[in-house]
Every structure is written in C-alpha cells, then in structure tokens.
Structure 1
Amino acid sequence: MQDIIQKMQSLGFNQYEAKAYLALVRLGSASAYQVSKDSGIPRARIYEILNGLSKQGLVLKEEINEAAQYSPLPVDVFLESMQSNWRTNFESISESLKELEKTELTPDNRVATLKGADHILSFCRTLLKKAEQKAVISFWGDMYEELLADLQATSEKCGLKGIVFEIEQPLQGLDHHRITSYTENIGHQKWFILSIDGKEMIYGPSISERETAFYTDDPVHIYLLENYIWHDILVNRLVKKQNDEVEKWIATEREQFFSM
C-alpha cells in the first residue's frame, strides 16, 4: 500500500489525499469518520482533505439524511483524467522548454557531468536520434545491448562507425575488437564513447560500475576521442592481418608504457 501512496504522491497528491482516495476506493461510499478510521488520517484533518478532493472532482460528495457521504471518482475515470492531465502538462512543458532552450552554439564549449544510469542512457538515446550524418561509438557489451534498438534506428538513417567489445556480430559499420588478455582482464574500466556529427559527445565508465558520464560539445574533446576510436580500430585491423607475435609485442609495449 505504501508503494501506491508514493506513486500517487509523484502525481502531485499529498500523503493524506492519496490515503483518503485509496480508502474510498476500498470502501466504495463512506462517511468522513469511516474514511478517517480506515486511512489513519486524523479526524481534525479529514473534512479538509475530503472537501479538497471534492473540489478537484476526485471525490463525489452527497448529502444523505443531513449527513455527508463520500465516494471516489471511478478508478477508470480517475486514471483517464490523470493521463489526460499528464499529457497536457507534458506537451505544455515541452513547448515552453524548447522555446527557452538556446538552439545556437554558445562560444563557451563545455564539459558537463551527468549522473544516474537512466539519465545517461536517455542522453545517449537523444543524441542518437539527433544524429544527421554519422554516429561514432566505442561500446562494451552492456552499453551496446542497452542501446541496440537505438543504434539500429540510427544506422538506418545515417552512418554508424566505431568499435565494440564483447559483441561477436555487431551492426554494419562497427568493428568487433579482438579478444586479448588486456580486454579479458580490464575489469571495471569499460569506458564508452558516443559522438554524433562531430558536434556532441557523451563518454564515461560503464554505467553498471559507476553511474557517471560526461557530455561535451567542445571540438577538442570530440576530435581527440574520435581519433582515439579510430586508432583503436586501426590497430585492431592491423593486428588481425598479422600473427600472434604482434599481439605479444603490443602487450609488452603497453605494459612498459603504463608502468611506473
């Protein structure tokens, strides 16, 4: 019950309003005293709460033998009303926000921090939808699977390029990174990069390990990280044409470069 109360609060009801409506749904029709007793709302507040809900049209009030009886707006009607209000508010807010948002590029290119796995994934989906010419990615399996449907949609309208790890048969335009001792033992350091049209980019560590990422429209960041992806693709393609000795040599050189 607490779960549905919290969900109703997210729709704009306070706790007492949610409890009162739910009590009436259970009781069907009841006096203020019965609603107070069933819901746990103090008797000193129950008339105020029920009258407020009545003014909103969510509770029906009848005078029967000089006593007030309350009944809930039928659940189907209540849900339709909530959905209609949400849709109206969403469309209004969307229009207002888009009018406020600056569409022109600002001279101060920025790097912003994003928090939360859902927000990061939503940002990635938004960028993929915005892509007009190309999307360049470097993804490990978890991010690739989360965004597969969005990547497919992007590949159908513009170029999709990049490299993926832990995916045997990636979408057209993407290279599969060879399996090495380095990739097998990389642990939590599975960073992702998503760049669109050379204008916007989001990058960060695996969202399953750390729900933080970075957004930038800074051309220097974008140039460096897109070149990082190309370097990874180039080395991957060259090694595939060579033999195991090249792989061992690369592993040794990497270890020496990053050692203290």
Structure 2
Amino acid sequence: MLHKFGYSQYESKVYEALVSGMKPMDATMIVKHSGVPKAKIYEVISKLVEKGIALESVSEKKKLYSALPLPLVIEKLTAEFQADIEQLETYEPQKEFIDDHVWSLKEDTSIEAKLHQSLQQAQKSIRFSAWKADMQKYIPLLEAKEREGIFVEALVVGEVKSQLSHLVFFEPKKEHVTLERFRLLIVDDEEVIFAGEENNEWQAIKTRSQPFVRVFTDYFYHDVLLTKITTKYNDILIHDQEIMAQLLQLKY
C-alpha cells in the first residue's frame, strides 16, 4: 500500500495489518498479521511511529500500536508531496560543471560552424582575430552582437570595412614570410577556439580550461598592442634594422 510512496515493503505490510485491525495490536499480533519477521518487527514499528504513520501506547506494561487512519495518511502524504514540489521549484542548481578538456576539431567547415555557434551564444564579450578573408565572413554577426550590447574587440590581418567600435588592422609587409593564417576566438572569458592552417588543412582546439583562456587572452592583447605600436611608430622602427628583423620573425 505505502510501498509506492517511499516506504519499505515491511513498513507497508505493518501499516496494512494495523489499519485492517479492529483494535490495537502488540508486536506479536503484528508479526502474525503482517508476515514481517519477528527479528525486524520492532525496528519497522519504530520507523512508522517516527514517521507519524503508527500510534504507540502502553497498556499493562505492554506496548500497543494502532494505525493513523487512512484518510489522514492520504492527507499527510499529499501535504508532504506538495511541500516537496515547492522545494523543488525553489531549488537552485549547483555551480555549472565546466568541461576543461582540450578538444581538437578538424575540417574547415566544422571549425567555421563552431565559431559561428560560439559567437551566437556570446553573452558578455567577444575577442576575435583572423585574417581578412576569414574575418569578412563574421563581420555582420560581430556587428549584430555589438548592437545587442556585447563588448566586441577584433584584430584583422588585412583591412576590412566595418562599423565595429574596437577594430584593429594589421597590414603585413612582404617581408613577413613567417606569418601563418589563424583564427582566435575568446567568448565571455570562458571559452577559447584557436584554429591554424597546416599543409593547407585547418585544425583547431576548443577548451574552457581557464589557464588556456588566460593565455590566449594575453596572446590576443599581445597582438593588438604590438599592432598598435608598430603602426604608430612605423617611421621610427623601419630605420632600426635589428628591431625590424625581430618583428618580421613574429607569427602574429
């Protein structure tokens, strides 16, 4: 009877015996009518008393037990169920599990799809750097996210037309023979996607590991700052062969 409501099989049998009886019972009678082993009977009765399902009395130094009437049990179970529902409604999930694995992703179309999805899901901030041909695909989405109130920063190797508020261009020189095509996306300071081209094939890593997020964020701002410095002081740097030689070795 009560087994469906979280009570043990023995508890349900004892309650059925008590509620079916015409008068209070002692432990011996309950064993006889319920079929619960004698070794378990006092433990089971004690639990029912604690749960308010059975009533206990002492008559002539003998303990007697009776059942809480079934209508009251139904009322009790209904109230407890409603209380559990209300508690469930106010339950606040624990901190979200963060997957800090580093995942690899291949195929350009898959990488582009993942970049697009992550950009769409951005809630607070976007930092994105890529070459001109790649950046142009995402400019409309980046501009739309900025209009939504998302803070967007972008660095482009090449020059593109855009209304983005924080956009930096890097125009490579013909001497930049070590430059490698890449895409770097950092979303909400929580997720990083870094893609590079090797042997004409794109490969990427994706992770939410915070140490990696911080490293790639520093990497992004390193590129932005270096671009601003070399642009602003180009006339000076171009005459310093040592510095220019080192700058031309960078892969940013």
Which of residues 141, 147, 154 is equivalent to 1:162?
Answer: 154
Deviation at 1:229, TM superposition (A): 1.3
Q: Which residue of 1 is the match for residue 104 of structure 2?
A: 113
Partner of 1:200: 191
Q: 1:240 & 1:213 partners in 2: Cα distance?
A: 29
Tell whether the 8 Å contact from 2:175 to 2:248 is kept in structure 1 after alignment. no
Q: Can you give the 5+ residue segments of structure 1 that lack an aligned partner in the other structure?
A: 1-102
User: Residue in 2 aligned with 1:251?
Assistant: 244
Give the Å deviation of 1:161.
0.6
C-alpha distance in structure 2 between counterparts of 1:142 and 1:237, whole Å: 21
Q: Determine which structure has more spread, i.e. the larger CA radius of gyration.
A: 2
In 2, distance between residues paired with 1:214 and 1:121? 12
SS of equivalent residue, structure 1 residue 145: helix
Residue pair 1:117, 1:207 contacting (<8 A) in 2 also: no
Matched residue of 1:202: which SS? strand
Q: TM-score, normalised by structure 2?
A: 0.54
SS in 2 for 1:147: helix
Residue equivalent to 1:143: 134
Does residue 177 (structure 1) correspond to residue 170 (structure 2)? The answer is yes
**TM-superposed deviation, 1:122:** 1.0
Cα deviations by residue, 1:178-199 (Å, 9 ceiling, x for unpaired): 332354x346x21110010110
The answer to whether the 8 Å contact 1:199/1:217 transfers is yes
Q: Runs in 1 of length 4+ with deviation above 6 angstroms?
A: 255-258
**1:241 Cα deviation from its structure 2 partner:** 2.3
Is the 8 Å Cα contact of residues 164 and 175 (structure 1) preserved in structure 2? yes
Within 5 Å, give how 1:40-55 maps onto structure 2. Answer: none
1:205 alignment partner, SS class: strand
Report what 1:8 is aligned to.
none
* Kept in 2: contact 1:113–1:212 (CA 8 A): yes
Over 3 Å counting, the alpha-carbon distance change for 1:131 and 1:252 in structure 2 is same
Amino acid at match of 1:166: G
Equivalent position of 2:232 in the other structure: 241
8 Å contact kept, 2:126–2:186: yes
Other structure's SS at 1:129 match = helix
Is contact 2:132-2:160 (8 Å) kept?
A: no
Counterpart position of 1:104? 96
Equivalent residue number for residue 75 of structure 1:
none
The alpha-carbon deviation at position 255 of structure 1 amounts to 6.2
Structure ranking higher in helix proportion? 1
How many residues in Structure 1 have an aligned counterpart in Structure 2?
Answer: 153
User: In 2, Cα distance between the equivalents of 1:256 and 1:208?
Assistant: 20
Q: Percent identity?
A: 20
SS in structure 1 opposite 2:165? coil
* SS of 1:222 mapped into structure 2: helix
In 2, are the aligned partners of 1:143 and 1:206 still within 8 Å (CA)?
Answer: no
Q: CA RMSD in A?
A: 2.7
Q: TM-score, normalised by structure 1?
A: 0.52
Measured after TM superposition, the shift of residue 143 of structure 1 is 1.6
Gaps of 5+ in 2: 1-94
Query: 1:37-58: CA deviations, max 9, x gaps?
Result: xxxxxxxxxxxxxxxxxxxxxx
Distance 1:115 1:231, change over 3 A: same
